[in-house]
Amino acid sequence: MRLLLLTSCLVLAACGGAPRSTPEVRLGVAAEFVAVYNDWDAPRAAALFAADSSKRASKLQKHFAWLEDQLGACGEPQYMYSTSHRGARYTYACERGSLETWLKLDKAGKILKMSSGATGVAAPPDLQEAARAVVASLPLSACPKPAFQTNLTTGWPNSLGSCTLGRPWVFGHTTGLFHVLCEGGKTAVLGVRVDKEGTLVRANLVKGEQYIYRDPRV
């Protein structure tokens, strides 16, 4: 019954109807997303997106190739939670670890924004080391100005005091999220980005319960 419902929603989209970003439509897109991940097809990948479809599909292919090296093949999507009336997060059990993706659809059921990454496997060494170095330096002073983009020198992040790095949450090749535990039992999520040479270019802390993962963006 569930499969029939998903098929009906996707047929409506193909026939020029006006599918809304319902849970059923989002789950159907999430299933198509992992099907393309497991068996790459450029036209199918481009058809997922609302705009700049060929360009986004090309970037997605490179991202998928890296993810497949980490995770192997992945199974069907499992709903995690909604982030808005058009956005939701899904997890996929893989041969090694899991794939996580966040999808936000437009009114026609096409991907407007998305992110995806690996979890449950070792993070890339450059990301892990960048996260470790950032957390070890907390609280971070504004003088001298850090060499990377950050929100760690002012406001709420600066009030956390000393912190310890927890396990990686989810990551791509150059961007990752890490759980952080700070003084007084406060928790946060650290997002870090490194360049191709492994140099830290951005580090931000956010309150874990308010965070919606949107990197690496494709």
DSSP code at position 11: H
Three-class DSSP category at 194: strand
Secondary element (H or E) of residue 86:
none
Question: pLDDT band at 209, cuts 50/70/90?
Answer: low
Residue 213 has pLDDT above 80, yes or no: no
Question: pLDDT band at 212, cuts 50/70/90?
Answer: very low
Torsion angle defined by CA atoms of residues 65, 78, 212 and 199, in that order, rounded to the nearest 10 degrees: -30
**Domain ranges, ordered by start, for the chain:** 2-119, 125-210
Look up the CATH number of domain 2-119.
3.10.450.50
Cα 65 from Cα 73, distance rounded (Å): 11
Q: What is the rounded average pLDDT of the residues 24-34?
A: 95
Cα 92 from Cα 19, distance rounded (Å): 24
φ and ψ at 121, to 5 degrees?
-130, 170
Question: pLDDT band at 19, cuts 50/70/90?
Answer: low
Of 1-10, 75-84, 203-212, give the range with the top mean pLDDT. 75-84
pLDDT of residue 9: 41
Cα 134 from Cα 174, distance rounded (Å): 15
pLDDT of residue 202: 96
In 3D, which of 26, 13, 18 has the Cα closest to residue 86?
A: 26
- Does pTM top 0.85 for this prediction? no
Residue 75 has pLDDT above 60, yes or no: yes
Average pLDDT, the chain: 85
